[in-house]
């Protein structure tokens, strides 16, 4: 099923930041979100993923289909790399973890506690969770933070493999990942500043 966003308005701190956002993300495709810092990319992704309610509009085709990766790596520092992936595989009822370890070259780190990993290694582990979820729609907020060039290539390859298998990806990123997909500039959807209401004027 396609992910469809219709006339979505999202807020940050109760103030609309994006208004009337509309797009369709088909299976096997990627959409790359662009726009200046602060425009609301993270807010939009959280709304699409169901982590915060939109002010208006509709997101369809998402029930039990989305795997979200935000700024937090979502790993347990006292567990090993293997134990972290096994935990997430059990949460999502997915299969083994070998594909996730391989996709991000984590085999040499398999038995190392996650808390002892470098920032880049932690990010690779966090992103590898997507592979074990078995969910078709990946919603990703600046996924390449802390990754070196080789790890960025691993991530791009993992997304390509996901798309070939019929999955889809909605990605906010400032870098060119070399992925085939639509670029959606959010600038035209920037919400207009809210006028001062009559209630505030009544105090003067």
Model confidence pLDDT, tens digit, residues 142-159? 999 999 999 999 999 999
Residue 196: how many other CB atoms lie within 10 Å: 8
* Alpha carbon distance 93, 89 (integer Å): 6
* Alpha carbon distance 73, 80 (integer Å): 14
Helices (H), the chain: 41-48, 81-92, 98-103, 119-133, 149-164, 198-201
Percentage of residues in the chain having pLDDT higher than 90? 83
Per residue in 103-117, pLDDT tens?
A: 999 999 999 999 999
SS3 5: strand
* Alpha carbon distance 200, 182 (integer Å): 43
Per residue in 163-202, pLDDT tens?
A: 999 999 999 998 999 998 899 999 999 998 766 554 444 3
Per residue in 72-109, pLDDT tens?
A: 888 999 999 999 999 999 998 777 899 999 999 999 99
Phi, psi of 166 (to 5 degrees): 95, 5
Q: What pLDDT shows up at residue 68? A: 95
Q: What pLDDT shows up at residue 96? A: 86
């Amino acid at each position: 099923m396609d992910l469809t966003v219709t006339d979505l308005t999202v807020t940050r701190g109760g103030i609309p930041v994006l208004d009337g956002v509309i797009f369709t993300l088909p299976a096997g495709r990627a959409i790359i979100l662009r726009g200046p810092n602060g425009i609301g990319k993270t807010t939009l992704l959280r709304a699409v993923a169901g982590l915060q309610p939109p002010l208006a509009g509709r997101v369809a085709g998402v029930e039990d289909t989305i795997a979200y990766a935000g700024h937090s790596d979502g790993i347990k520092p006292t567990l090993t790399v293997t134990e972290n992936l096994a935990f997430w595989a059990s949460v999502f009822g997915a299969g083994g973890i070998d594909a996730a370890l391989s996709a991000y070259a984590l085999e040499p780190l398999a038995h190392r506690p996650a808390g002892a990993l470098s920032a880049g290694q932690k990010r690779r582990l966090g992103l590898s969770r997507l592979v074990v979820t078995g969910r078709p729609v990946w919603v990703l907020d600046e996924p390449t933070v802390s990754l070196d060039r080789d790890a960025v290539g691993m991530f791009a390859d993992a997304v390509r493999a996901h798309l070939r298998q019929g999955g889809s990806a909605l990605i906010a990123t400032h870098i060119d990942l070399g992925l085939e997909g639509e670029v959606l500039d959010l600038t035209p959807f920037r919400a207009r500043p809210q006028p001062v209401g009559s209630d505030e004027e009544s105090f003067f």
